[in-house]
Amino acid sequence: MPGPLDGIVVADLSRVVAGPHATMTLADLGARVIKVERPDGGDETRGWGPPFRDGVSTYYLSCNRNKESVALDLKSERGAAVLTRLIERVDVLVENFRTGVLDRLGFPVERLHALNPRLVILSITGFGHDGPDGGRPGYDAIVQAEAGLMSVTGPPGEPSKVGLSIADILAAQNGVAGVLAALYERERTGRGAVVRTSLLASVVGAHMFQGTRWTVAREVPESAGNDHPSIAPYGTFRCADGAVQIGVANDALWRRFAPLVGLDPDDPRYATVRDRAPRRAELTAAIEKALAADDRATWLARLEDAGIPAGAIRTIDEVYEHPQTRSQGLVVTVDHPDLGVIELPGPPLRFDGAPPRAHRPPPRLGQDTDAVLAWLEEDR
């Protein structure tokens, strides 16, 4: 079934995570995405592992569904000629080269728009396109460190990275938002725009309250583990047989929660959010003393009955087998040419009234080269 971006064609010159995740999102929305890869190995993530399954990287599989693959040496005369024709035909070009690489290949922005004035260009870098670090390469873990994310993540005093490529994912989603806005603007102006974002900008842009703790209050945030620096009780609490996550984010919830754990909701030490936050340690000790009397399942049922936000701390396998995950279409099935029928993490968006969409597996390297070249020769 066609999606909202049916008819939009994307040339994907990106690799690794941020760009490929952005173009996968555009593909999920119905765009045709043509992934241009080096003939000698293709996207680096094709070789990233373990784990592999029958020689195929599961890392690569995570960011490349619903695409076509063209093997093309952009440094060659033939590659430049094919890319020129591709630029003339597509609506969107996505690249995450280091600053200046596309220029050196002979395709500066001015030439791109001379070839196709309606072309929307998304350019993603590690640290931005200008400034003292413009052009500096930036992998996700490096940017998590440099953008302050590690300083507010993990146990106190132990800077930790998020357990997935969050800087890449944020940059991808910001890039998609920019592309969609540029396509909408194109309807009014008739011209394509250049959209620029970076991993650094995307993490800093997501600092939220941690950012204003410094910019407004001049307080340097520190890591607090699973606790919330401004709200209590809000974090991980131990029951008789393990831990649960509980979020008592306002005083109305506190008045329902306190009696469950044997506390007086009107105790002046804990009556308001402002009272509770500075007394987090003693409050946690009191709560865990009560929780130790029963197991997690019992406490989760009690908390749900009382309308208290709480949840189990699940492993990744438990998440994908959970009926709620399945009900939301967050697992999709594809028929891979080498692996057979496999399951992949699915798109997070749904549109009311639209039937479930059939998804295509991530492509083999260069599997669509001949078909795309034939398409480019049409109407010449």
Alpha helices in the chain (DSSP H): 18-28, 58-61, 77-89, 101-104, 109-115, 140-146, 166-189, 199-204, 209-215, 251-260, 273-276, 280-291, 296-305, 316-321, 323-327, 369-377
Helices and strands in the chain, H and E counts: 16, 13
Strand partners of residue 92: 10, 120
* Residue 90 · residue 8 · CB < 8 Å: no
Tokens 């003393």 belong to: 289
Residue type, 93: L
- Give the helix/strand (H/E) hosting 44: none
Closest CA to 146 of 68, 197, 190, 204: 204
Q: Which residues are catalytic?
A: 168
* Residue 75 · residue 105 · CB < 8 Å: yes
Closest CA to 126 of 143, 114, 141: 143
Query: Which tokens sit at 215?
Result: 């910019």
Report residue 15: phi and psi, to 5°: -150, 170
For residue 51, whether the previous peptide bond is cis, meaning omega lies within 30 degrees of 0, is yes
3-state class of 329 per DSSP?
coil
Residue type, 237: F
**How far apart (Å, rounded) are the C-alpha atoms in residues 174 and 318?**
29
Count of Cβ atoms closer than 10 Å to residue 47 Cβ: 12
Residue 315 CB-density burial (10 A; 0-12 exposed, 13-18 middle, 19+ buried): exposed
